[in-house]
Amino acid sequence: MDKFFKTDNPAVFVESPGRINLIGEHTDYNHGFVLPTAIDKKIYFELRKNDTNTSCSIYSETFNTRLNFDLKIIKKSNSTWENYILGVVNELQNRGKELSGFDCYIKSELPIGAGISSSAALECGLASGLNSLFELNLSKQEIVNLSQAAENNFVGSQCGIMDQYASVMSKKDHLILLDCLSLEAEFIPTNFKSCKILLINSKVSHSIADGEYNTRRKECESGLKIIQNQYEEVKTLRDVSLELLDSCKSQLSEKQANRVLYVLQENQRVLTAVNLLKSGELQAFGKLMYQSHYGLRDLYEVSCRELDFLVKFSEEKDFIYGSRMMGGGFGGCTINLIEEAHIAAFTEEVTIAYQKEFKLKPEMITVVPGEGTLVKRA
Ligand code: GLA
């Protein structure tokens, strides 16, 4: 666990994983269903108190930079990774949690902007580490909530709860069917038989801090409001049926209607997909992954040419059961359910084709569903 670290006398070690999401995209902030899990790729932290009252020093090996700050002066930085750190400290202090000066060393094996949630791993890992270092007695759910709040309030991205939940709560070899309204979770064993999960990083970097993500969220919220004007019993998009949406269509803009339609369909797909997984029908499960992609491309409009190319390329192979863009969109990875025996040859083929089309080398990442955040005291 401690093979990376260089500080003296570390007190706490944290392993904080990235996440994948099999199906259920852009449904979390619409109070719907998602099917994520943590992966075996992580961010590693080492923390110690430093005998000062308020001076903190964070070293990121990935960026080869140091962030020094004072606990009494938490100001937004121009650098996004620093804001994830400062945002977590800010949320802890806002909740009346007492901190003193600390040092932290961070090393990441998660690609940034690839849609595997390096940001949630950073927030939740730091929050979990500080929870242990200062004996703050936060529950796992509180760590999830405050990490999401850090991103919403400090970084300014109105993300839902999926990434933080998956990073902290996942169990090895399971997917989480998470109801993002009640926060009830069912852990579904991953039985992918002869298949593996292969991520293909398009190398088009996305940042959900960019406006489009927040715009989608606003479009769904304003669409919901219009529906509520007509049907006051509707509390969230979960209460909207296809018939009900149809009856409101004339009052919604085309965009609003498409966004809402996508969300209703995607929620249904998640629930169907879970049943198919439970009964071992992997090919039918994979078909829903493709449908999810088409919805994200055509109705929700968060895909891009590079992702569409990768999904189409996969669709032509019968040894790939399902493929779709994953995460916020506009770049990052596709997630593919692929027969293991074909991974090597497919990797070669898709790399050549993608490079020819886009002059970019895609990155292949095989992942295994893993355990949520691990914290160890020295
Ligand atoms: C990002 C957000 C999540 C979720 C996904 C899309 O990863 O952080 O909350 O909305 O996009 O499903």
Predicted model pTM: 0.96
Distance 9 CA to ligand 1 centre (A): 37
Any atom of ligand 1 within 6 Å of the Cβ of 301:
no
Hey, whose CA ends up nearest to atom 7 of ligand 1?
327
Is there a contact between 311 and 353 (Cβ–Cβ < 8 Å)?
A: no
| Beta pairing, strands 374-377 & 12-21 | antiparallel
Q: Calculate the alpha carbon distances from 237 to 115, 155, 318 in Å.
A: 25, 26, 35
Closest ligand 1 atom, CA of 151? 8
Cα R_g (the chain), whole angstroms: 21
Distance 21 CA to ligand 1 centre (A): 9
Sign of CA dihedral 282, 287, 289, 292: negative
Mutate to test the pocket of ligand 1, among 37, 123, 163 (most ligand atoms within 8 A of CB): 163
Taking the CB of residue 340, how many other CB atoms lie within 10 A of it?
A: 14
Here the tokens at position 192 are 């992918």
Burial tier of 353 (Cβ tally within 10 Å: 0-12, 13-18, 19+):
middle
Burial tier of 265 (Cβ tally within 10 Å: 0-12, 13-18, 19+):
middle
* Contacts for 121 with CB less than 8 Å, ≥ 6 apart: 16, 17, 18, 19, 42, 43, 108, 110, 167
Hey, whose CA ends up nearest to atom 11 of ligand 1?
328
Any atom of ligand 1 within 6 Å of the Cβ of 327:
yes
Closest CA to 204 of 313, 301, 332, 117: 332
Hey, whose CA ends up nearest to atom 1 of ligand 1?
328
- So what's the pLDDT on residue 10? 82
Distance 88 CA to ligand 1 centre (A): 18
Closest ligand 1 atom, CA of 119? 8
Chain Cα centroid distance, residue 349: 28
* Contacts for 352 with CB less than 8 Å, ≥ 6 apart: none
Distance 150 CA to ligand 1 centre (A): 15
Here the tokens at position 90 are 């800010």
- So what's the pLDDT on residue 7? 61
Check 28, 163, 210, 298 and give the catalytic one: 163
Any atom of ligand 1 within 6 Å of the Cβ of 208:
yes
Distance 360 CA to ligand 1 centre (A): 25
Is there a contact between 269 and 25 (Cβ–Cβ < 8 Å)?
A: no
Q: What is the pLDDT along the chain (378 residues), one digit of tens a residue?
A: 444 556 677 899 999 999 999 999 999 999 999 999 999 999 999 999 999 999 999 999 988 999 999 999 999 999 989 999 999 999 999 999 999 999 999 999 998 888 899 999 999 999 999 999 999 999 999 999 999 999 999 999 899 999 999 999 999 999 999 999 999 999 999 999 999 999 999 999 876 657 899 999 999 999 999 999 999 999 999 999 999 999 999 999 999 999 999 999 999 999 999 999 999 999 999 999 999 999 999 999 999 999 999 999 999 999 999 999 999 999 999 999 999 999 999 999 999 999 999 999 999 999 999 999 999 999
- If residue 268 lies in a helix (H) or strand (E), which one and from where to where? helix 254-278
Any atom of ligand 1 within 6 Å of the Cβ of 48:
no
CA distance 351 to 345: 10
**Is 173 designated active site?**
no
Any atom of ligand 1 within 6 Å of the Cβ of 295:
no
